[in-house]
């Protein structure tokens, strides 16, 4: 199923929405989303294939070149990667935040209906049916309505009431073919 993206004026809905929220995205929300994507991707065994294959390749090259202590070359990289990744996340979050700011997508209104939700920004609106969602993930500061494993509508928790949060979680858990809402 394709998502319906329409820019321009929106016709009024047939009936009033169940819930409506005004959202403002912060850079930390984008950073939380990047962390979530990384953690979700490394839950799958194929995500480990490239790093392990690269490590094995380096070990074989260093061992064949006569370097008996190959681990002295590999261990600094194993230390540098966990230290460097948060810096990369922050840089990417800042770039995404600035790109969204330029496109006018930092502030939007999201209206929840029985079968879909509508996101309205200054540039236009987008209608997404709940059955198109991959899953709903919850972090400490935001709710992520996942369209795919790498894209989502970010809804900050401070813009949601408890009733709205329960409604969204019930949508996810009511669907028999979807994962239950995951808490980070």
Select from 32, 31, 28, 23 the least CA-distant residue to 121: 23
| Helices within the chain (DSSP H only) | 27-41, 46-64, 71-103, 162-174
What pLDDT is attached to residue 88? 84
What pLDDT is attached to residue 9? 44
Series of mean pLDDT values for 10-residue runs along the chain (184 residues): 47 68 90 84 65 73 64 71 81 89 87 89 87 86 88 88 84 56 46
What pLDDT is attached to residue 85? 78
CB distance 181 to 136 below 8 Å: yes
Residue 94 neighbours by CB under 8 Å, 6+ apart? 27
Select from 134, 152, 150 the least CA-distant residue to 142: 152
What pLDDT is attached to residue 10? 47
| DSSP state, residue 13 | P
Angle at 112 between CA 5 and CA 106, to 5 degrees: 60
What pLDDT is attached to residue 179? 47
What pLDDT is attached to residue 110? 92
């Amino acid at each position: 199923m394709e998502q319906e993206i329409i820019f321009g004026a929106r016709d009024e809905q047939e009936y009033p929405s169940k819930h409506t929220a005004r959202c403002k995205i912060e850079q930390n929300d984008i950073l939380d989303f990047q962390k979530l994507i990384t953690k979700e991707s490394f839950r799958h065994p194929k995500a480990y294939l490239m790093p392990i294959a690269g490590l094995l390749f380096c070990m074989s090259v260093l061992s064949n070149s006569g370097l008996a202590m190959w681990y002295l070359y590999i261990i600094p990289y194993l230390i540098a990667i966990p230290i460097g990744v948060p810096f990369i996340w922050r840089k990417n979050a800042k770039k995404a935040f600035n790109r969204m700011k330029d496109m006018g997508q930092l502030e939007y209104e999201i209206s929840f209906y029985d079968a879909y939700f509508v996101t309205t920004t200054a540039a236009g609106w987008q209608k997404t049916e709940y059955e198109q969602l991959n899953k709903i993930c919850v972090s400490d500061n935001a709710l992520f309505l996942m369209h795919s494993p790498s894209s989502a509508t970010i809804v900050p928790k401070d813009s949601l009431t408890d009733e709205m949060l329960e409604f969204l979680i019930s949508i996810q858990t009511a669907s028999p073919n979807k994962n239950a809402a995951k808490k980070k």
